[in-house]
Each structure stands twice: as C-alpha cells, then as structure tokens.
Amino acid sequence: MAEPLLSLRGVKTNIGRYHILHGVAFDVAEGGLTMLLGRNGAGKTTTLRTIMGLWRAAEGEIRFAGRDIAKMDTPDIARLGIAYVPESMAIFADLTVQENLILAARSGPIDQKRLDWIFSRFEALKRFWNLPAGHLSGGQKQMLAVARAIIEPRRLLLIDEPTKGLAPAIIAHMIAAFRELKDGEATLLVVEQNFAFARQLGDAVAVMDDGRVAHTGGMAAFAADAGLQQHLLGMGMDTHQ
C-alpha cells in the first residue's frame, strides 16, 4: 500500500489553557480529495492550522511526504508545497487582485497558461484584476482565496469551508475547479459543512468529534450509511446543504 501524502498520529494542540485536539490521527492519500467533516467545534479548523504550523502541536507526529513537519515553521511548511485557504479567506484587502496573486506566485512571474485556466473557472477575477480585493463581493473573495492557493502547482491544498456563504452558481464553479485539481497534480484536504458539496467531491472522509477523528473511510460508504452520519454528525447528509 502506498504511503499517504499526509499522515497525522496522536496530534494534540492546545490554545492557551484549552485542549482542542486530543490525539488526532488520520491519513490523506496522494491524488485524491479527503473531506474533513464534523460538528461545529469538533476541531476541524484547528487541525488544518496545526498542519500548517499556525498553531504548534503540543504532541504527536505530522508527516508530509515522509518528513515530520510538526516542529517546522509555517513558511517552511508552505515551501514544501502546502497551500492553505483559511475560513476567513484572508485575502489582502488593500492589494489588488493582481497583487494578491503576484505575491502568491512565490517562485516567479505568474504562469499565463495557469492564470488563463483560473480565469476560465473564476471569470470575475479577470474582470476585477486591478481592483483592490477589499472591494470584491464575498463570493469573489472566496474565488481569489482559492486562486491564490492554486496559482502555482502545490502538492497539498488545505481548504477551510470553501463554499461558506456562496451562491449555488459559484459553488458549481468551485466544484468544477476542485475536480480538475484533483484529477491533475494536487491532493486536497477540505473542511466542509455543505454535505452535498462534500459528497459530490470527496473520495475519502475523516469525521471529527470532540478533538479526535472518530471515523475514516471512503466517502461513498459514509454517504450511504445514514446511521453513521446521524451518530457522528447529528444529522444525515441528505438533510443539510
């Protein structure tokens, strides 16, 4: 069996005196899309931030492509080919769309072919190329946040609630873009509350509960098991959009 691209074992994270993660363990296989699901407060965002080094794991091992990254600084983790899209999007509001993407293209000038592909998926970014990003709508900001993560090839994308507050038409574009990404070079780990989106895109699933991973497996099997969904999420995937 191939070694997973990302592997967490016994990861514990504290924020101040609060213990948020209590020994998270799961794998992300290379080349697919793993959905990280769970109730509010289960520790999904903390898990992504811990992988990214934004919060330091107090214990445990985080291995990416065979290297332990648990003690590495965030810029070093990013340079290994991991991109992060936070729930808040964290676009640079005073910078134009163009400037946001110039900064994200760390290794040099933006590749025009890749940019054209991004424009084909997120047309608004082309239209507002020279507009300060703070003037974009919520959906456009989300497009920019995702575009920033994919402006250069990355091995792993960590994306926190990409569909939050988005119109269905934009979600459709997002689904198409993620599908192309996972069919191409990237591996994705996505936190999502929109179960319809999760079910359409996910190859694998890890479900968190109270700072631990309570279930891992294939998305198709999980989507078919209403009892398990009810047990872990408190509702079925069919009842929530």
Partner 1 sequence: MKRDYLPLLLIPVLAAASFPLVGSWSSWVTLSVAGLAMGLMIFIMASGLTLTFGLMDVLNFGHGAFIAVGAFVAASVMLALGAWMGADSLWLNLAAIGLAVLAAMAVSGALGLAFERVIVRPVYGQHLKQILVTTGGLIVAEQLLKVVWGPDQITLTRPAALRGAILLGDVAIEKYRLLAMAIGLAVFAALALTLARTRIGLLIRAGVENGEMVESLGYRIRRLFVGVFVVGSALAGLGGAMWGLYQETVTAAIGAQVIVLVFIVIIIGGLGSVGGCFVGALLVGLTANYIGFLAPKVALGSNILLMALILLWRPQGLYPVAKR
Q: Minimum CB separation from partner 1 for residue 134, in Å? A: 6
H and E: helices and strands count for the chain:
10, 10
Strand partners, 108: none
Between residues 20 and 91, which has the closer beta carbon with respect to partner 1? 91
DSSP state, residue 152: S
Q: Are strands 6-15 and 18-28 parallel, antiparallel or unpaired?
A: antiparallel
Q: What is the rounded CA–CA span in Å between residue 139 and residue 124? A: 10
Q: Minimum CB separation from partner 1 for residue 239, in Å? A: 34
Between residues 148 and 173, which has the closer beta carbon with respect to partner 1? 148
Closest residue by Cα to residue 55 from 39, 36, 70, 33 = 70
Rule CB under 8 A: is residue 54 a binding residue for partner 1? yes
Torsion, Cα 189 195 197 199, to 10 degrees, reads 80
Q: Minimum CB separation from partner 1 for residue 130, in Å? A: 7
Rule CB under 8 A: is residue 172 a binding residue for partner 1? no
Rule CB under 8 A: is residue 134 a binding residue for partner 1? yes
Site string for partner 1, 84-123 (x = CB under 8 A): x-x-x-x-xxxx---xx-xxx-x-----------------
Q: What is the rounded CA–CA span in Å between residue 228 and residue 239? A: 14
Q: What is the rounded CA–CA span in Å between residue 241 and residue 239? A: 7
Site string for partner 1, 56-75 (x = CB under 8 A): -----------------xxx
Binding residues (CB under 8 A) for partner 1: these are 52, 54, 73-75, 78-79, 83-84, 86, 88, 90, 92-95, 99-100, 102-104, 106, 130-132, 134-135, 148
